Homo-oligomer: A and B are copies of this chain.
Amino acid sequence: MEETGFSLDTLRYYERIGLLESIGRNAAGQRRFTQKDVGWLGMVRCLRDTGMPIAEMIRFAEMTRAGDHTVRDRIALLEAHDRRVQEQVENLREKQVAIRNKIAYYHSVVD
């Protein structure tokens, strides 16, 4: 298990579905993650943790492999995602206020 925070099973799964480009093996057939792989996994972690669906990450992975002519599309994808993240944050903050009001109300009942 690499210290990207993914389990080995998850890494195998990601490789199978094409989210990771075929990871190199050593003589015994075991996966050897390069610095590049680890970097990409950092990106994957970042996108996953902000709620990007796997299907979309695969599209992003494919663009990344396809070369520099996809950079504009990658920007568009990330900017759209950034807007969704922004909405998530705002929505959470809003709901958090409601939760805190409820807590305050309960406190007023119990004290």
Instruction: Using CB atoms and an 8 Å cutoff, list the residues of chain A in contact with chain B.
Output: 43, 46-47, 49-50, 68, 71-72, 74-75, 78-79, 81-82, 85-86, 88-89, 91-93, 95-96, 98-100, 102-103, 106-107, 109-110
Tell me if A's interface is mostly helix, strand, loop or mixed. helix
Q: A50-B99, A71-B110, A85-B96 are in contact. List 14 more A-B contacts (CB 8 A).
A: A49-B91, A68-B109, A71-B109, A74-B106, A78-B102, A78-B103, A82-B96, A82-B103, A85-B95, A85-B99, A86-B96, A89-B89, A89-B92, A89-B93
Q: Do the beta carbons of A82 and B110 come within 8 Å of each other?
A: no
Provide the residues of chain B in CB contact with A110, threshold 8 Å.
Answer: 71-72, 75
